[in-house]
Structure 1
Amino acid sequence: METEIKSHYNYEEVILWLEKKGVDLYGNHFKILETDHPIIYKLIAYFLKDEATCFQFNIDLNKGILLSGPVGCGKTSLMNLMKHLAPTEHKFFVKPCRDISFEFIQDGYLIIHKYSKGKLYESEPKTICFDDLGTENNLKYFGNECNIMAEILLSRYDIFTSKKIQTHITTNLSASEIENIYGNRVRSRLREMINLIGFERNIMDKRV
């Protein structure tokens, strides 16, 4: 599927560059499939801050990205590659949600602060990509159960509205599954905070 891009960037060249970067990061087997180009064009447009192309794709550059798709379609790899396209002021780091849940067991509610407002000794929150939303568990800290990612995302909404700090997410959950797990309030906030870019549900597992 070809998408015509009217832009001052050469998207085919950017994809070739990303593929080389992917080989550096993941090995010679890494390849960007042509069937994924429509998704990757949108990500490139967003992370290069290509306003004209984002307008064509109805992408809001003020919001973050929620990249959704089934297990094994390459969401995490793509977001790790996009880190290298993002301009300095929009750099972000990728944090697995499962790791956050393990940190919560150890450090408790400080973790909500760490991934929203920043560590206690830092004054500025950071742009973060929460990887694989839905793989973490509701965990107990001193007997109190906490939906840790729901709390973090609600806090991230507050810094999005007050400081325009963006949040990115990868997930294999659908919108209704997000609502079931995290509640209507989180789903509603996410609508305001993010652009949804989604792989087809029937896309093949690239890990096979």
Structure 2
Amino acid sequence: MDNPFKITEGGVEYSLGKFNGKSVLYDFDKILIYLDAKGKLLFGEKFKIYDEDKDILLKLCNYFICDKENCKKNGIDPDKGILLSGPVGCGKTTLMKLLRHIVPVQRSYEMIPCRNVIFSFNHLGFKTIEDYGNTKFFCFDDLGIEPPGRFYGKDLNVMGEVLLSRYELYLQSKHRIKTHATTNLNAEELEERYGNRVRSRMRELFNLIAFDEGAGDKRK
């Protein structure tokens, strides 16, 4: 791809910034125009970028375009993944599905509902944990509200085990193997759900970016 900051969708070319001969200087307003257009293509004409989400979007965009200066200002580590938290219906899943498109040259991640991981474990057992402990990039959607896993009568906190596997992988890989997730739970609730050990690993795996607790349900 000659111009990674230019993306064509539906026959229209969107420029996300300009090239100064060394690097791309991204323009947040232009990124928003592209995200609005791409969002409508992916999710339908009712999709819109909400003004109250722009702060979150700016942080996420800085992360995805690897703007090191702005990431540093916001305490974001570009080597870690994103844990996007917020109330039900605030748009976490939509944003994580959408934002991977602004950097088509970067390695993308697969969106996986956590409940699907549990269903897989209930059928296949521990092979599931191996399957998700591989070198693919994943975004685990709706972390913390998945049902418990059970295989041959044994209960297991499956997503906790998957996160521990992903953490080991993250430590071993020179090119950091990224794990992202969305959750409705806060830090205390996550610790209650997965225990202190997993929670401390999550701090090393993820940058926490949180919607305001009062963020409205956009699905209504």
Q: Does TM, normalized by the shorter one, top 0.5?
A: yes
Q: Is the aligned partner of 1:133 residue 2:133?
A: no
Q: Which runs of 5+ in 2 are unaligned?
A: 1-23
Q: In the alignment, which residue of structure 2 is the partner of 1:40? A: 57
Pick from 36, 50, 67 the counterpart of residue 50 of structure 1: 67
Q: Is the 8 A contact 2:39 2:98 kept in 1?
A: yes
Counterpart amino acid of 1:35?
Answer: E
Residue 103 (structure 2) pairs with residue 86 (structure 1)? yes
Greater gyration radius: 2
| 2:5 matched residue in structure 1 | none
CA-to-aligned-CA distance 1:75-112 (integer Å, 9 cap, x gap): 00000001212354431111000111111111111000
What's the TM-score once normalised by structure 2's chain length?
0.86
Question: 2:137·2:177 contact (CA, 8 Å) conserved in 1?
Answer: yes
Structure-1 residue corresponding to 2:31: 14
Q: Which amino acid aligns with 1:197?
A: I
Structure with more of its chain in strand, by fraction: 2
For residue 208 of structure 2, give the secondary structure of its aligned residue in structure 1: strand
Cα distance in 2, alignment partners of residues 138 and 81 from structure 1: 29
- How far 1:48 sits from its partner (Å)? 0.9
Matches of 1:12 and 1:107, distance apart in 2: 46
Q: Deviations over 1:1-29 (max 9, x none)?
A: xxxxxx93110110110111000011110
CA distance in 2, matches of 1:41, 1:15: 9
- Would you say the 8 A contact 1:83–1:93 is kept in 2? no
Quote the residue 1:142 is aligned against. 152
3-state SS of paired residue (1:35): helix
Match of 1:98 in 2: 115
- C-alpha offsets along residues 41-64 of structure 1, whole Å, 9 cap, x if unaligned? 011111111112212212110111
Residue 165 of structure 1 aligns to a residue whose secondary structure is coil
In the other structure, the counterpart of 2:206 is 194
Change (3 A) 1:87 1:28: closer
Shift of 1:161: 0.6
Q: Point out where structure 1 has 5 or more consecutive residues left out of the alignment.
A: 1-6, 118-124
